[in-house]
Structure 1
Amino acid sequence: MVNRSATATAKVRARLDALTTLRTSGALAAVADAAEELASRGRAPATVRMRRTYLRHDEPRHVDRERNGLPRTEQPPAARLIAPRGVAGRFHLLLLFAAHCQAAPGHQWHNRIPIEPDSTRPFSWMGLLGAHARHTPGGQRVASPRVNKARQITEAVKKLHEHQMLELPNAGTSRPFRDFQLLCDSGASTKAAPIPYKVPRAALPGVNVPTEFFTRGWVNLLTPSETVSYLMWLDINQNPVHDEPYVTGTERAGHFGLSRDAYETHRQLEAFGLIDVEAAADRYDDGKYADYGTEAGRPICHRATLTPDGITRDAAAVIEPVLHAFAAHGTWDRPLAMRTGR
């Protein structure tokens, strides 16, 4: 347990260092301004609607161990893009955001945003993505942060292409990633039959992600596991299956494909003020129960509701003090200024 705690603290300190570097360099403010401008110059959507099958299977898949979730190849697209390194999942969400800013519901989106800025187009993916890209010692050449960030984006494009989430119309040319095109977020595209992305209509089963998730910096500062867990809680609250907002282990693993570790990020999301959690009585942190069993009609699961204004706060201003507190005490606590009325 001591080693696990030390590892968690080390990860949080590294995350805090990266956040501080992005904030003090002005990069976080710049990408937030770019996202705000992209929305205001376009259709200014209040939400970004994602097809429900992007997050969960309609029918649960069999899992050998619910703690581990589904094998990566069987996961829905959102969970499949979770990775400890790389920015593919975050980048894909930014693609969906840009599509909603530039295309109407029911219409195809044509990406014309370049990876790197140029004099002819006002937005670039480098300008919209907040990523801490620094030189890794040991290489033969020292690449600048700009070059490393561009490399992160092209690696994300390659990964999304491998997962049939976008296509490369200029593959085989000197600029293979130019004007790459988004494919349907349902994950139903194949190499033989790609499905172009169209902004979902309101009647299509989906999940609405507040635009502030993008314009207030959350998309760039949550970890991949925190992000997909937050999207899961959005779905559970917007498309209720039960009379209360909870998810069982079987549903979490079989529908959403998520491991218990991903589910446990509800602690961070609560500390960040994005959700309020009603902890299940007699349930330990490791997921086990005291006196296993349930009250009639009330499974032993945490309930998580969305906080009304949590997503409207500036992500860096919220996350940074939470990370400082964890680095000092090893617990996820909501800042004192945000505890009023809990």
Structure 2
Amino acid sequence: MPNRSTAADKIKARLDALTALRRGGLSDVSLGYLNLLGQGKSSHRGKAVRLRRTYLRHDVPRPVERERNGLPREEQPPAARLIAPRGVAGRLHLVLLFAAHCQASPGRQWPNRIPIEPDSTQPFSWMGLIGAHARHTPGGRRVASPRVNKARQITEALKKLRDQKLLEFPNEGTSRPFRDFRLLCDSGASTDAAPIPYTVPRAADPGIDVPLHFFLRGWVNLLTPSETVAYLMWLDVNQNPVHDEPYVTGVERAGHFGLSRDAYETHEPLHAFGLIDVEPALLRHEDGKYTDYGTQSGRPICHRVALTNGITRNAADSIEPVLHEFAATGRWSRPLGTRVYS
């Protein structure tokens, strides 16, 4: 767990980025999602974005040397492999899947024709659909504007998704290598020799349904990569129950989802933001250790986590007061007067 000064620095940076995003048109990004959804297939309107379950979770758990650390990156499911302190690859990939759901029918491939930068011939661009804090960088050989930096963030994210076998560049080697890039299957099963084209999942395909509010209300752009993947994990735990209560054991969290304990601990900010309700394990200390381990007579000592309707609230308005509270107290807490329902 980071020390107080390190945590405070991270929170300040996050608040600064949130302020910059709001000034830089975060609401316009969400409006872009709403417009994209409006042109979509009627079967998707008012519904969710479905992710294949293997995007998040191995069907058979992988053995782990240290449960605390999760799986090595190369053995993690695709969603966990996209967790990184910098870059927008995980965020961009989810927005790509959202766009595919808007523009293609279940069972069909998505013909991506959205350009990276806006032009007069296209109603959408990836720069307009991604909320990313791109600073002006003075000095050096070139002076990069926020626009140039944002375009670079997106192209670097596309390269990372290509490296993870989640998309391909049919125009690689040309003057416009990123034009009309193609999504590969979100299961992560593609190889260089045998790429699997992405098709929009059908309702019968094993998966999870991500609420449209996750995109329309700004959460996709404001949660950290670890918070995002942890939230997807809790969606899976609640939508595809393995136990009679909504919890995940350390072995499941590490071996199935590939996540470290640090990623699991994001249940604290997710609870404070109002996205989940957490029933703490009675005998568990803050450091993860237990008092009288095994005395709850067959009831695993794990937090119970239920989804709430907090996803329907504006993400920026929900997150900002929580970050200010953490900056003042060093603890995650839900603001007084905030009511969410399971």
TM-score by length of 2: 0.97
* Unaligned segments of structure 2, at least 5 residues: none
| 1:259-270 alignment, distance < 5 Å | 259-270=260-271
- Residue 8 of structure 2 is matched in structure 1 by 9
- Partner in structure 2 of residue 337 of structure 1: 337
> Which residue in the other structure is 2:82 paired with?
81
Q: Is residue 290 of structure 1 aligned with residue 274 of structure 2?
A: no
Q: Kindly indicate whether the alpha-carbon contact (under 8 Å) linking 2:138 and 2:144 is maintained by their aligned counterparts in 1.
A: no
TM-superposed deviation, 1:45: 4.9
The answer as to whether partners of 2:310 and 2:341 remain within 8 angstroms in 1 is: no
Residue 62 of structure 1: aligned partner:
63
Q: Distance in 2 between matches of 1:165 and 1:24?
A: 32
CA contact (8 A) 2:137 2:145 kept: no
Q: Which residue of 1 aligns with 2:38?
A: 40
Alpha-carbon deviation of 1:294?
Answer: 3.9
Rounded Cα–Cα distance in structure 1 between residues aligned with 2:325 and 2:242: 35
| Alignment match, 2:253 | 252
Q: 2:114: which partner in 1?
A: 113
Following the alignment from structure 1 to structure 2, what is the Cα–Cα distance between the partners of residues 11 and 87?
Answer: 17
Query: Map of 1:181-330 to 2, 5 A cutoff?
Result: 181-307=182-308, 309-330=309-330
- Closer, same or farther in 2 for the Cα pair 1:138/1:8, shift >3 Å? farther
Indicate how the Cα distance of structure 1 residues 109 and 294 shifts in structure 2: closer, same or farther if over 3 A, else same: farther
CA–CA distance in 2 between the matches of 1:294 and 1:120? Answer: 66
- Deviation of residue 340 (structure 1)? 7.2
User: What CA distance in whole angstroms lies between the structure 2 residues aligned with 1:76 and 1:90?
Assistant: 16
Distance (whole Å) between structure 2 residues aligned to residue 294 and residue 94 of structure 1? 45
Question: Counterpart in 2 of 1:134?
Answer: 135
Contact 1:294–1:300 (8 Å) recurs in 2: no
Q: What is the match of residue 29 of structure 1?
A: 27
Letter in 1 for 2:319: I
Sequence identity percentage: 74
Count of residue pairs the alignment pairs up = 339
2:295 and 2:177 map into 1 onto residues whose CA distance is: 56
Q: Which structure 1 segments of 5+ residues have no match?
A: none
Contact 2:53–2:207 (Cα < 8 Å) also in 1: yes
Tell me, what secondary structure is at the counterpart of 2:156? helix
Secondary structure of 2:51's match? Answer: strand
1:182-203 C-alpha deviation (Å, 9 max, x unpaired) = 0000000000110000000011
Q: Is contact 1:45–1:100 with CA below 8 Å preserved after alignment? A: no
Q: Does 1:160 align with 2:161?
A: yes
Deviation at 1:285, TM superposition (A): 1.3
- Structure 1 residues 143 and 292, CA gap change in structure 2 (3 angstroms): same
- SS of the residue 1:305 aligns to: strand
Hey, what's the Cα distance between the residues in 2 that align with 1:246 and 1:229? Answer: 12
Moved over 2 A (4+): 135-140, 339-342
3-state SS of paired residue (1:67): helix
